[in-house]
Copies of this chain bind each other. A is one copy, B any other.
Amino acid sequence: MDIIKFSHRQKKITELVKKYAPITSEQLAEKLGVTRAALRPDLAILTMTDVLEAKPKVGYIYSKKPSYSMLYDYIRKINVGDVMSKPVVVDENTMVYDAIVNLFLNDVGTLFIENSGVLIGAVSRKDFLKISIGGTDMRKVPVGIIMTRMPNIVCVEKDDSVYLAAQKIMDHEVDSLPVVEKSKDGSKEILKIIGKVSKTNITRLFVKMGENK
């Protein structure tokens, strides 16, 4: 997969086809004042890229197919596992005050709460701010009281695309998603947290995509 920039002549051909379609290569060559042979590479490129469609015994027409999106393809093949970071995990009995200190020490926006290795909740800066204006004594309330509890947490798995993660972040208006590994305990599904993916990871990926290499 690579990119191509259309030449001036290829753009000119596209315009002519849009205007006169269907049009044969002989007619195109005549309008451009070149030989049919000279046009062959250009027409090959324009049909391969789905800009033009060659109809046998009719001529070239402008393709109605949506232009193949390079970004679509690239973005969907990057997986959560490629960009995720280490999650910061606390116990549900941690006091809100200590949890906030933990948030600052680790410089993260969301803490995840585990119980015996199982993901049970998440708490964000927003949740902490809400409690802080509520006048509650933050040294006496454990995060277990204010956290968002499973199954109300949107999760992703490491083989999901980053695109799906970004979509979930936007749709559910959260900053960060836990990356989980699913297993079964009898009939019960158990989620273990193995990472997190946030708007920060996506912004970092965006910067990486824009680097000139």
Seen from chain A, the residues whose Cβ lies within 8 Å of a Cβ on chain B are 1-7, 37, 40-42, 44-45, 48-51, 66-76, 97, 100-101, 103-104, 107, 125-126, 128-130, 132-133, 138, 161-163, 166-167, 169-170, 173, 175, 199-200, 202-207, 209-213
User: Which one of A5, A6, A73, A138 has the highest number of Cβ atoms from chain B below 10 Å of its Cβ?
Assistant: A5
| A103 engages B129 (CB within 8 Å) | yes
Question: Inside 8 A of A173's CB, which chain B residues have their CB?
Answer: 107
Given contacts A166-B203, A167-B207, A202-B199, contact A70 B128 (CB under 8 A): no
Q: How far is the CB of A39 from chain B (nearest CB, A)?
A: 10
CA distance A129 to B138 in the complex (A): 12
| B4 engages A2 (CB within 8 Å) | yes
Q: How far is the CB of A15 from chain B (nearest CB, A)?
A: 15
Question: Inside 8 A of A69's CB, which chain B residues have their CB?
Answer: 3, 212-213
Given contacts A45-B45, A212-B72, contact A203 B169 (CB under 8 A): yes
Copies in the complex: 2
14 A–B contact pairs at CB < 8 A?
A: A2-B51, A3-B3, A3-B68, A4-B45, A5-B68, A41-B41, A42-B44, A44-B45, A71-B74, A71-B209, A72-B210, A104-B129, A129-B132, A132-B138
User: Which one of A74, A125, A161, A209 has the highest number of Cβ atoms from chain B below 10 Å of its Cβ?
Assistant: A209
Given contacts A210-B71, A210-B72, contact A3 B49 (CB under 8 A): yes
Which of B48, B128, B130, B213 meets A66, CB within 8 Å? B213
Closest-by-CB residue of B relative to A101 is B133
CA distance A75 to B72 in the complex (A): 13
| A45 engages B41 (CB within 8 Å) | yes
Which of B7, B100, B206 meets A133, CB within 8 Å? B100
Q: How far is the CB of A200 from chain B (nearest CB, A)?
A: 6
CA distance A104 to B48 in the complex (A): 51
Which of B41, B76, B163 meets A44, CB within 8 Å? B41
Q: How far is the CB of A208 from chain B (nearest CB, A)?
A: 9
CA distance A61 to B144 in the complex (A): 64
